[in-house]
Amino acid sequence: MLRRIISGTIQSGSMLLVVASVAVAGTHSPDLDRLQATDNVQVIVHRSGNSTPDYSGHQITKIATLPTGDDLCSGAVANVLAVSGLSTVSHITVNHSVQGTGSAKPVYDFMPQAVQPTSPIAKFPNFGQGVGVGVALIDSGVTPNADLAGSIVHSETFVNGEDSKDYYGHGTHLAGLIVGKGVNSFSGYKGNIIHGVAPGAKIINLKVLDKTGTSDDATVIKAIEWAINHRAAWNIKVINLSLGRPVFESWKTDPLAREVEKAWLAGITVVVAAGNAGRDNTVGTQGYGTIASPANHPLVLTVGAMNTESTKSRTDDLMTTYSSKGPSLLDHVVKPDLVAPGNRLWSVLSTSKPFLAAQTGAVLISSQGDDDNAPQYIELSGTSGAAAVTSAAAATLLGSEGSLTPDQVKARLMKTADKSLDRTSTVISGFTVTNDIFTVGAGYLNLDTALSKKGDPKYTIPAGTYAASPAAVIRGTQNGRLVIGLDSTVWGSSTVWGSSTVWGSLVNGDSTVWGSSTVWGSVIDAASTVWGSSTVWGSSTVWGSSTVWGSSSEPGALSTVWGSSTVWGSSTVWGSSTVWGSSTVWGSILGGDPDTGDNGNSGN
Which residues are catalytically annotated?
Answer: 139, 170, 384
Q: 258 Cβ partners below 8 Å, 6+ apart?
A: 14, 15, 16, 68
Q: What DSSP string describes 21-64?
A: SS----EE-GGGGGS-TT-EEEEEEEESTT-----GGGT-EEEE
CB 243 within 8 A of CB 139: yes
Q: Please state the three-class secondary structure of 69-115 as a single string.
A: CCEEEEEEHHHHHHHHCCCCEEEEEECCEEEECCECCCCCCCHHHHH
Q: At what angle do helices 255-265 and 217-229 cross, to 10 degrees?
A: 10
Give yes or no for a contact between 248 and 213, defined as CB atoms under 8 angstroms apart.
no
Tell me the C-alpha to C-alpha distance, in Å, between residue 601 and each of 238, 315, 328, 581: 34, 17, 34, 30
Helix (H) or strand (E) run with residue 225 in it: helix 217-229
Q: How far apart are CA 226 and CA 220, in angstroms?
A: 10
Q: Mention every residue, 6+ apart, whose C-beta is less than 8 A from residue 505.
A: 517, 546, 547
Q: Pairing mode, if any, of strands 345-348 and 377-380?
A: antiparallel
Check residue 195 and report its DSSP letter: -
Task: Enumerate the β-bridge partners of residue 203.
Answer: 135, 152
Which SS3 state, helix, strand or coil, does residue 369 take?
coil
The span from the CA of 523 to the CA of 222, in Å, is 48
* Strand pairing class (97-100; 243-244): antiparallel
Sheet holding 40-47, edge to edge: 27-28, 89-94, 40-47, 71-76, 61-65
Q: CA–CA separation, 80 vs 23, rounded Å?
A: 19
Separation CA 102–CA 588 (nearest Å): 10
